[in-house]
Structure 1
C-alpha cells in the first residue's frame, strides 16, 4: 500500500462524515503536516439509561447543545506504511503541538479509522 492510497481513503472518510479536508502548501516552513482535516461539531444525545438521569446532567447536556461544541481541526501527516516522520518533521509537529494544535501521523487505513472513530 502506498501513501497515496491512505490519503485517498482519508479524503473519502472525512467527506463521508460531512467534514472538509484540504491539502496545505507551506511557504517558508519545512516539515509541517500536509493535510488539515475539519470535522463538524458533534451533537449530544440523551439516551434512555438504566439509572435515572439527574437534573444537573440534563442541564449540562442542554448547555453543551445550546453553546455547541467546538468544531474539530486536525493536522495530518500521512506516511507510507511503517514510515516515520523525518527529524525536521517531528520538530515541526512538536512546535505546533506546543501551540495547542492537534497533529497526528497516520501510516495505515487502520490509523485513519482510529482517528475518525
Structure 2
C-alpha cells in the first residue's frame, strides 16, 4: 500500500521530535513551491524538506525553489515515499524501526477515522 504524504510526514515529525528537534510546516506567502517542512535537528542542523508520495515528482516551481535554497548553501531533502523517509532518518541518526512503526500506525488510524466518517455519512443518507 502506498503511503500518503501526511502519513510519512507524521512519522518523520515524531522521529525528529523524539531526538529533540522540530519538524515545522513551512509556508511562505507569495513564494509558491517552497518545501513543505523545515526540520531543525539537534546541533543546529537545519533541513528544508519536500515530501512526496512514492513515485510522485516535484513540480517545476518546487524544483526551482529547492535549487535556489541549495545555491545558498541550505540543506534540502526531497523525500518520496516511506523508504526514502527511513533512509533520511537513518542518515541523521534517527530510529528506523520506530519510524516504520509510526508511519504504519498513523496510516491505520487515519483509515479507521475515514471509514468511520464514511459510515456516518451513509447513515445520514
Under a length normalisation based on structure 2, what TM-score does the superposition of the two structures give?
Answer: 0.67
RMSD of aligned residue pairs (Cα, Å): 1.0
* Shift of residue 94, structure 1, vs aligned partner: 0.3
Instruction: Give the one of 45, 49, 73 matched to 1:72.
Output: 45
Higher relative contact order (CA 8 A, sep 6+): 1
* Shift of residue 115, structure 1, vs aligned partner: 1.5
Q: Of Structure 1 and Structure 2, which has the larger fraction of its residues in helix?
A: 2
Please say which structure displays the higher CA radius of gyration.
Answer: 1
* Shift of residue 10, structure 1, vs aligned partner: 0.7
Distance between the aligned counterparts of 1:103 and 1:77, measured in 2?
8
Under a length normalisation based on structure 1, what TM-score does the superposition of the two structures give?
Answer: 0.71
Write out the 4+ residue segments of structure 1 that deviate beyond 3 Å after TM superposition: none
Provide structure 2 residue ranges, at least 5 long, that are not aligned to the other structure: 91-125
Aligned residue pair count: 88
Check conservation: 1:36, 1:75, Cα contact below 8 A. Answer: yes
Cα deviation digits, residues 24-69 of structure 1 (max 9, x gap): 111110111010000012xxxxxxxxxxxxxxxxxxxxxxxxxxxx
